[in-house]
Amino acid sequence: MEIRNNYTDEDNYTHIDYWKSEDDNEEGITVAIVCNDTKKVFFLHNGFRQNEETLKAIKETLESIEQTFLVVYCLNDESDHYEAFRGDETGARERYEEVLEMEDLYSANIALVIESTDY
């Protein structure tokens, strides 16, 4: 038995695939997918939910996903702004410090994105 997590499709889902053997000519099956945008895991075959190799591949996939930081701020004219920094905490913190110096700033936040569909 072999579990692989080396295929990410055009929708940014990493497939957790199962093969009965290490024969590359054998057709594998996808047992779970990991959304690289939301970090949600979708099991397609419930029998693999407790499989150690499957869980290891999912953990590796989740750990490899870059974190996204948002700098969100509102100006006195009531306009809202946000800027996303994928994998760049330093850049997000630097931008946040710049935003704090704005004369027409009403409020500002820096946040780590846990789940989102909006950016």
The model's pLDDT over 43-80, given as tens digits with 9 standing for 90+, comes to 999 999 999 999 999 999 998 888 889 999 999 999 99
Q: Residue 89: helix, strand or coil by DSSP?
A: helix
Is residue 24 pLDDT above 80, yes or no? no
How many C-beta atoms surround the C-beta of residue 110 within 10 A?
Answer: 18
For 73-95, how does the pLDDT look when each residue is reduced to its tens digit (9 = 90+)? 999 999 999 998 888 889 999 99
Assign 119 a pLDDT band (cuts: 50, 70, 90): very low
Cα–Cα distance list, 3 to 34, 47, 51, 54 (Å): 14, 14, 10, 6
How far is it, in rounded angstroms, from Cα 40 to Cα 37? 8
At residue 114, the pLDDT reads 72
